[in-house]
Amino acid sequence: MTATDVPTTSSARTAADPRRWWALAVLAASLLVVVMDMTILNVALPAMTAELRLGAVSQLWVVDAYALALAGLLIPVTALGDRWGRKRMLVTGYAAFAVGSVAVLWADSAAAVISIRALLGVGGAMVMPSTLSLIRSIFDDARERTLALSVWGATAALGAGVGPVVGGALLESFSWHSAFLVNVPLMVVAIALALWLLRENRSTRPGRIDVVGVLTSAGGLTAFVYAAKQLGKHGPSVATVLLLVLGVALLAAFARLSLRSDRPMLDVRLFGHPVLRAGVVAALASSAAMAAVLFVGSQWLQLAEGMSPLRAGFALLPMAVGAMVASPFAPGLAERTSPRIVLAGGLVVLATGLALLAVLPATYPFVVLAFTIVGLGTSALGLGSALIMGAATDDQAGSAAALEEITYELGAVLGITFFGSLVGAVYRAGLPDGVGPDVTESLAGATGGPWFADASDAFVTAFASLGAVSAVLALLAAYAVWRLVPDDLSLGDSQH
């Protein structure tokens, strides 16, 4: 057993390890690949659909399989990593990503691509919470840890923005397979570096993994996420509402089981910590707003402004760049002022950027300013991550990481569902009488037709409504954070 294989606990952490920043680089780079994979498919899907002749239902499952596998497995996989080893779980996730990405070469049907996307979702469930848990153990110093988590948050924002650009660039010269194959060399390098740089880390009191807990947590999250996605795409129906209720009921049953256990799979008692709740509110609001703006903004750029997918990807980059540039400064600013001011202030900046989408002219030079300010506002997400992870002990690091990832996932799903429905309703209300069903369905149906100008104006109004409503919700989140975080809290105080 080498030095890097020795499991670490709170008494043997690696804060003084000079390689800790290189370890962070590996964790951040691998996270970049995972997050990119969530968005890169949007660019590759049309070419994939044409070659494999995917139907509408198959296309939805190709898109959703990743998110459903990721959401359903987050809790049990994280609990297994606490017991088995977080480094081992991370490396296994890398391997799942590599295998799934290579397997696309033999994919010749919808079922094969859906299975591959599900495998990639399994890999994502292994990688994402493991990166947070390992950062929690690698950086013992509270201020260093906050900076590391700010880098983590900036990397996630960058991945969401870079995915469409990388996908568009690849598809300019190669087939849709390249959107998957690009993962393979990156994951091979990540496996080698992780084995070399990272120390094994696990909980000294891992949660018990039981069948009922796995079924209620995985079933509840999968049902909730799928139902929310269906609501956003097709509107309410009896089946969808029943599935949503089932998901909530299963999650409530899982929470009750966790409260009764002395060693639960997910320590839901962490929600009793107001600082953690503040981090969750900030993460939920920021991820919902960013997902919605990326989703609707991409449609506006491509359909209303007539940009290619690659140009649209570049046009959205200012949002990611704003987050990436500002994130490293959040910890220092919080130390000079307070985490309360920086976290709530970041949400106010986010609300300002969203409000600009509602009031500025709908031309790209103005919208790029709004995108940049939205990105700057999400830069405090790393500080929110630090509050979530800092509210947990070493043994609770896995639970805190799972809670954060669930928050991000639900934020993105709910943001697209709620704001997508809002944009659709406002768009349809702004259309003149007599338009065809294709135009009513989406702006894409009006492209090249006589109703395009009217439909484009209606979509611009809908985009502005997204900015206005999301700005109000971001301000409400800022108020909640201000109330939850003590005014005298320091970065050191928030960390166990």
Element housing 275 (H / E): helix 274-299
Angle at 40 between CA 36 and CA 42, to 5 degrees: 140
The answer to whether 193 touches 4, Cβ cutoff 8 Å, is no
Tokens linked to 377: 């506002």
Radius of gyration of the chain (CA): 22
Rounded Cα–Cα distance for residues 173 and 438 (Å)? 32
The amino acid at 489: L
Rounded distance between C-alpha atoms, residue 384 and residue 378, angstroms: 10
Task: Give the global pTM.
Answer: 0.84
Q: What is the pLDDT of residue 45?
A: 77
CA distance 120 to 97: 5
pLDDT the model gives residue 483: 92
The whole-number pLDDT of residue 16 equals 52
145-199 pLDDT, tens digit each:
888 888 887 887 788 778 878 877 887 788 888 888 888 898 999 999 999 988 8
Confirm if 208 and 267 have CB atoms less than 8 A apart: no
Dist. CA 389–CA 131, nearest whole Å: 12
Residues in the chain where the model's pLDDT stays below 70: 1-17, 42, 56, 490-496
- pLDDT recorded at residue 6: 41
| SS3 (DSSP) at 339 | helix
CA distance 228 to 225: 5
Q: What is the pLDDT of residue 5?
A: 45
Helix (H/G/I), strand (E/B), else coil: 205: coil
The pLDDT of residue 246 is 95
Report the first-to-last Cα separation within the chain, whole angstroms. Answer: 30
* 3-state DSSP percent of the chain in helix, strand and coil, to 5: 80, 0, 20
Phi, psi of 394, rounded to the nearest 5 degrees = -55, -40
Nearest alpha-carbon partner for 407 in 80, 91, 128, 90? 128
Tell me the C-alpha distance between 352 and 346, whole Å. Answer: 10
